[in-house]
Amino acid sequence: MPPDLDVILATDCGSTTTKAILIERRGAVYRQTVRGEAPTTVEAPFEDVTRGVLNAVQEVEELSGRTLLDGERIITPAAGSSGVDLYVSTSSAGGGLQMMVAGVVKAMTAESAQRCALGAGAIVMDVLASNDGRLGHEKIERIRQLRPDMLLLSGGTDGGTVSHVVELAEYIAAADPRPRLGLGYRLPLIFAGNRDAVPEVERILKDRVGLEVTENIRPVLERENLRPARHKIHDLFLEHVMAQAPGYRKLMTWTGAPIMPTPAAVGLIMETLARRRGLHVIGVDIGGATTDVFSVFDGVFNRTVSANLGMSYSVSNVLVEAGLPAVARWVPCGLPEGDLRNRIKNKMVRPTTIPQTLEDLHLEQALAREALRLALEQHRQLAVGLRGIQQDRTISDAFAQVTTGQSLIDLLKVNLIIGSGGILSHAPRRVQSLLMMLDAFQPLGITQMAVDSIFMMPHLGVLSTVHEKAALDVFEHDCLVPLGTAVAPIGQGREGEPCLAYCMAMPDGREVRDRIAAGEIRVHPLPAGETARAVLEPARGMDLGAGRGRSVEADLTGGAVGVVLDARGRPLDLPADDGRRIAALKRWAASLSLYPE
């Protein structure tokens, strides 16, 4: 039975900004009413995260007219026009939780360890495995170089071999890793491997690290058991990492629920939404330094962090990883290569600047497309079915070459894509956010698209651990900005040839009946909260999920943009010739009213 709450205060302590929101019960529904923010105060001269929290709460107090602070204390419970019933918080300040993981086999226990750490909200700095191709001394040197906040060691199914995981423990002991924070505190290391190896691992490591033993994350090859280790990561995160960061011990005494790492909280609200609504969801949060991708497919939650893809501090790395041609292909004007490179490097060294000219906006949104595309690609590689397990195979399976380790991410199956992060949430026109995600992810068939209005997903995630209804009410009413629905047939039609015929029964009684040719994209406005019943008839050779040329009937939901019919082809291939490519980009931009004239 969730607690009876009328007023809730939630904060997220980000790397640069601390954001506070006020949630109030209005009748039977919870709504976010006020928000405030202030610079995060982890670094000098303040070196106390609670200062930034109090400043952000003070802004909420001023804007709401509700007294929230008594000196430097948050007033609880709520009474009249003062106080709150619950205060919760998340944090990614200080760069978040940075971990190194190790397992015996790269594609099995090491990969499970990676999923475990990512699901707990960590950035994974490196994944070591006995068979990762690096020699022993190279592994030792690598461990020594990195300054993780925490280590996760796994390997060996229960009752299986111990020598490989013991070897990894020996390497860790030899490297004597130093923690990132605080000279003089023991680096936490979680052992979640073969229980038979525990005595030897304890003997080797107990005097070198803060060793914690928990259940094997891969007790048998057929099953992952990530939850106990995830909980342990979270507990140690609070106890060691956060406690070392200035002001967090004090903050921990203020909150009514354990502080969560921001990405873990974001993942939790997405998982909750997907479970409650029975949806397959992809969520992305593209920040200044990292891009997080979350997915829930068939109830299985996965999270990846592309730790070096972002829009400011890591923006040059997007160029490095994607390559200049991949970025330049999205820019609808002929910027010389040298100029492009200089602009990107200048953004890298002055990351807090914003685009003032349309040219700069084009470039930033082109970079965002590539960052999103690469981040999803990395996510697809990790969000896979378990590898190495025995499968009952039929003859047809053998002919179909169905192997273990297939990606769970199915772009035809995905029901909803949610975008978050400044470049998506604060694009000057909502249709720009929709198109960035459409171009980067290329969902197939019928997909709803949305953005997070002001990045309150972390707040709602941590709130959901106490009051799921309050969190979901606010998520659906105030957090999510529906953009509309994208309809994209699979296949490559010849430009100008018929691709899709459609008939939409609009809510105002009109019937929209039309065709769209291959190579085109078109939008039909449909407000949020409205639905159009559509009959969609793909041309022969095009497929909307029911088979080639077979029609589909569906309810298409509206949003800030509406219904977008994308006949540009799946996969989407831009013309190789620069002139034709720029002409196509401009034509699509005009069709969608993407930019001001």
Q: Which of 132, 360, 468, 495 binds another protein (CB under 8 A)?
A: 360
Name the residue among 88, 96, 6 with its Cα closest to residue 53. 88
Residue 336 found at the interface with another protein (CB under 8 A): no
CA atoms within 13 A on the CB side of 540: 0
Neighbours of 360 (CB within 10 A): 15
CB of 380 to another protein, least distance (A): 22
Nearer to another protein, 200 or 377 (CB): 200
CB of 343 to another protein, least distance (A): 7
Q: From residue 61, how far is each of 14, 49, 253, 458, 471 by CA, in Å?
A: 20, 19, 21, 21, 21
Q: In what order do the strands lie in the sheet with 531-538?
A: 511-517, 498-505, 531-538, 552-557
Alpha-helix runs per DSSP H in 3-145:
49-64, 111-119, 136-145
Q: Which of residues 307-326 bind another protein (CB under 8 A)?
A: 308, 313-314, 316-317, 319-321
Residue 275 found at the interface with another protein (CB under 8 A): no
CB of 400 to another protein, least distance (A): 40
Q: Contact letters (x/-) for another protein, 40-79, by CB under 8 A?
A: ---x-x----------------------------------
CB contact at 8 A, 263 and 305: yes
Residue 596 found at the interface with another protein (CB under 8 A): yes
Alpha-helix runs per DSSP H in 155-221:
163-175, 198-205
Residue that the structure tokens 């507990």 belong to: 235
CB contact at 8 A, 312 and 354: no
Nearer to another protein, 142 or 459 (CB): 142
Span of 215-223, 358-366, 390-398, 446-454 interacting with another protein by CB under 8 A: 358-366
CB contact at 8 A, 234 and 444: no
Nearer to another protein, 47 or 397 (CB): 47
Nearer to another protein, 162 or 521 (CB): 162
Residue 426 found at the interface with another protein (CB under 8 A): yes
Q: Which long-range contacts (CB under 8 A, 24 or more apart) does 210-214 make?
A: 210/185, 210/186, 210/236, 210/240, 212/188, 212/236, 214/190
Q: Which amino acid is at 236?
A: L
Size of the residue set binding another protein (CB under 8 A): 63
Q: Is the peptide bond before 2 cis (omega within 30 degrees of 0)?
A: no
Query: Cα(141)–Cα(148) distance, rounded to whole angstroms?
Result: 14
Span of 77-85, 335-343, 513-521, 545-553 interacting with another protein by CB under 8 A: 335-343
| DSSP symbol at 238 | I
Query: Cα(246)–Cα(538) distance, rounded to whole angstroms?
Result: 59
Q: Contact letters (x/-) for another protein, 94-123, by CB under 8 A?
A: xx----------------------------
Q: Which of residues 153-192 bind another protein (CB under 8 A)?
A: 162-163, 166-167, 170, 173-176, 178, 183
Span of 421-429, 459-467, 471-479, 521-529 interacting with another protein by CB under 8 A: 421-429
Q: Contact letters (x/-) for another protein, 126-155, by CB under 8 A?
A: ---------xxx--xx--------------
Catalog residues that contact another protein under the rule CB under 8 A: 15, 17, 37-39, 43, 45, 94-95, 135-137, 140-141, 162-163, 166-167, 170, 173-176, 178, 183, 200, 288-289, 308, 313-314, 316-317, 319-321, 337-339, 341-346, 348-361, 426, 428-429, 596
